[in-house]
Amino acid sequence: MAPAVASRTMPSKTADLDETWAFLSEGVDLIMTRLEAGLSFPDYSNFYTAVYNYCTSTRMSGKSLEGNRAGANLVGADLYSKLNLYLVHHFSPMVDKCDSLQDIDLLRYYAAEWERYTTGANYLNRLFTYLNRYWVKRERDEGKKTVYPIYTLALSQWKDVFFTQIQNGEERKITTAVLRLITQQRNGETIDQGLAKKVIDSFVSLGLDGTDLNKECLDVYKSDFEGPFLATTEDYYKKESEAFLAANSVSDYLRKVEERLREEEDRVERYLHTKTRKDLISKCDDVLIRQHAELMWDSFQTLLDFDKDEDLQRMYALLARIPEGLEPLRKRFETHAKAAGLSAISKLVEASDSGADAIDAKAYVDALLEVHRKSSELVARSFKSEAGFAASLDKACREFVNRNAGTGSSSTKSPEMIAKHADMLLRKNNKMAEEEDLEGALNRVMILFKYLEDKDVFQTFYTTKLSKRLIHGVSASDESEASMISKLKEVCGFEYTNKLQRMFTDMSLSKDLTDSFKDRMTQNHDDIDITFSIMVLGTNFWPLNPPAHEFMIPIEIVPTYDRFQKYYQTKHSGRKLAWLWNYSKNELRTNYLNQKYILMTSSYQMAVLLQYNRNETMSLDELVAATSITKDIMTQVLALLVKAKILVNEESEQYDLNPNFKSKKIRVNLNLPIKADLKAESADVLKAVDEDRKYVIQATIVRIMKARKTMKNQTLIQEVISQISQRFAPKIPDIKKAIETLLEKEYIERVDGSKDTFAYVA
């Protein structure tokens, strides 16, 4: 197509307004209505020159100035006015056309005209560059904010004349048409998203900030589109959600909401202004989630019960979008996890013939860990390890670990069971350690340890068990022992593990002492059993008690006993050794049988069997007299020897050495715990814990009072609870009793005139 050519002759440099506009109007009309016909560069240059000539002609011819304003500026106003009037009349046929159009046809016409109009306006803006650069700029600099550059003028007239007339009234035809298009898309129909974008973008472009033309103004977009759009969105999803839930499950609804939210996010990306996103998503969250949150909360338990992981993930993700949406879930999850823990232990108790007292420590720990594992995986997988759910799990675990059917009313049962399990793991020949990673097993013990309220009970049981592992040499390895102590230290601090570490120091020193003793005896040519070894253990660090009865040392070991006593006194004069025969062990070699056996015995068993070097038969009373072991303990010692068939008991309370003893093993272990020892251990531990707690509470009170000088009774009690709670849960009566004790000892005193205020006594 050949470029259009202006039919009029180029006006002279001194042409007046009418002549100039007559020439320019043809070009303006061509640009605004028939630009597709083409505009040649010569014609464009002529139009540009005509504008330039008119705006500069009066100044160049020397016409007078009016005030401080140049003539060029005055003539610019006339030209600006002519162009403005043209634009007003330009819309008349367009308005008439729109009256006959609806919905998609209206939008297509509107979008096509908008594209034509804005393209033409861009050309006009360049054509009137000189006017923009001087006259428009001068007017705006002087505060006339209703004077715009030509392109902005064109947009202003589109809005004020064309757009306003079409949108006039409540119907707002263009807005209504766009919203119907969006509704069609929500209903599953395919729409022309490019058309929607063009129309909506025009709303954005029509917003004008008179004070700053470069600043984005969304007034038109918000009033004529965003406001109605959000209202329509709310109405649409309110009806849809109610209808959908009436016919479908909550699980189906969660998937539906997830899908709708993705669609709205995509809608923003494709054809809405980005600033609509926040309000749109907020509106969707309110209608689709918040208004149905209670229904979701109520169905949460069902999803937990049936392990509906995907649905749980959806519910979490959706409710996380609204304020306080997750808190009811956290509380329900805490209740669920607690119930699971309590149920697991209840099943163990029910399966046990003897009830809670007979529960195996490994089974108990494994049951608690399995509940924690499943719940932890659920928190990580379905709740994204969110801090609130992690805290709910911790609360639940703290409850079912410390109080369950296995513990009854005792707060010491769980610490005892967990300590026993740790003891089994850390012993030699432990199948659990062989079958799985021992370090991993210890880490799992620590999971439960962190939930224990009475960590001091665990500490005392663990110390007792460790002492026996070390004394009897049955630890799996020093590395594993050190690793466990390190884990405890990390959780509870140096003071908690100080005694444990000192026990290892004593073991090392005892080995050196034994070697030194043997060297001295060898130098003196004293005959001493090379298998002899001694452990000298600090009273303050080892939870060991000497036997409550006398013990007559067998004559076979008296020489070695006497030599060591003398040797030790030469090295540590003034120290007194308390011999713990109840923890000692021995090896005896048989000479009375065809097959020689090595019998591994306790000191009490040794004392009994050595009597048969000088006697063929002995009664219970004779054995008690010969060893000074109490009758109760002697009865249990003899029962083990009879069961092992080392002794025979054919007559009442008469015991003979069995000449027909046989064993498949050369080394026969007879050193098994007796009931008296087992009962004493648990009782001793709990007694030690009670005593220790008294001193811990008193020391804490003194420390607090020394720092504060004076404190009220209630405040002091709360502070003591706060400081001790990491170690154990102190009881208020115990704290009050400790306060009374310290008052009697004059560490603190009552403040005169106040019954409930105490002062530190320096």
Would 508-581 and 678-760 be classified into the same CATH topology? no
Distance separating alpha carbons of residues 266 and 263, to the nearest angstrom: 5
Distance separating alpha carbons of residues 425 and 480, to the nearest angstrom: 9
* Domain residue extents for the chain: 1-168, 172-291, 508-581, 584-672, 678-760
Per-residue confidence (pLDDT) for residue 152, from 0 to 100: 94
The answer to whether the CB of 720 falls within 8 A of the CB of 698 is: no
- Beta pairing, strands 757-760 & 748-750: antiparallel
Distance separating alpha carbons of residues 580 and 467, to the nearest angstrom: 13
Helix locations, 473-554, DSSP H: 478-492, 494-523
Distance separating alpha carbons of residues 426 and 432, to the nearest angstrom: 10
> Exposed, middle or buried, 638 (CB in 10 Å: 0-12/13-18/19+)?
buried
Distance separating alpha carbons of residues 576 and 89, to the nearest angstrom: 120
Look up residue 539 and give its two tokens: 């009273």
Nearest Cα neighbor of 562 from 571, 553, 549 is 553
Query: Which residues is 749 bridged to in the sheet?
Result: 759
Distance separating alpha carbons of residues 164 and 98, to the nearest angstrom: 12
The answer to whether the CB of 270 falls within 8 A of the CB of 197 is: yes
Backbone angles phi, psi at 90, to 5 degrees: -60, -30
Domain 508-581 falls under CATH 3.40.640.10: no
Helical axes 71-90 vs 150-157, angle rounded to 10°: 30
Q: What is the CA radius of gyration of the chain?
A: 48
Alpha carbons within 13 A on the beta-carbon side of 403: 8
Per-residue confidence (pLDDT) for residue 131, from 0 to 100: 92
Per-residue confidence (pLDDT) for residue 7, from 0 to 100: 53
Backbone angles phi, psi at 598, to 5 degrees: -110, 120
CATH topology for 584-672 is Ribosomal Protein S5; domain 2 (3.30.230)
Strand (E) or helix (H) holding 527: none
Per-residue confidence (pLDDT) for residue 433, from 0 to 100: 57
Q: What percent of the chain has pLDDT over 70?
A: 93
The answer to whether the CB of 540 falls within 8 A of the CB of 578 is: no
Per-residue confidence (pLDDT) for residue 66, from 0 to 100: 41
Q: State the architecture of 1-168 in CATH terms.
A: Up-down Bundle (1.20)
- pTM for the whole thing? 0.80
Nearest Cα neighbor of 225 from 285, 262, 177 is 177
SS3 content of the chain, % helix, strand, coil (to 5): 65, 5, 30
Place of tokens 């880490």: 443
Helical axes 494-523 vs 558-571, angle rounded to 10°: 110
Per-residue confidence (pLDDT) for residue 301, from 0 to 100: 96
Distance separating alpha carbons of residues 5 and 494, to the nearest angstrom: 97
CATH superfamily assigned to domain 172-291: Cullin Repeats (1.20.1310.10)
Nearest Cα neighbor of 124 from 151, 148, 92, 105 is 151
Distance separating alpha carbons of residues 145 and 476, to the nearest angstrom: 89
Per-residue confidence (pLDDT) for residue 67, from 0 to 100: 40
Distance separating alpha carbons of residues 700 and 725, to the nearest angstrom: 12
Distance separating alpha carbons of residues 139 and 400, to the nearest angstrom: 80
Query: Which residues is 475 bridged to in the sheet?
Result: 427
Look up residue 639 and give its two tokens: 């029962």
Collect the ranges in the chain with pLDDT lower than 50.
1-3, 5-6, 59-73
CATH topology for 678-760 is Arc Repressor Mutant, subunit A (1.10.10)
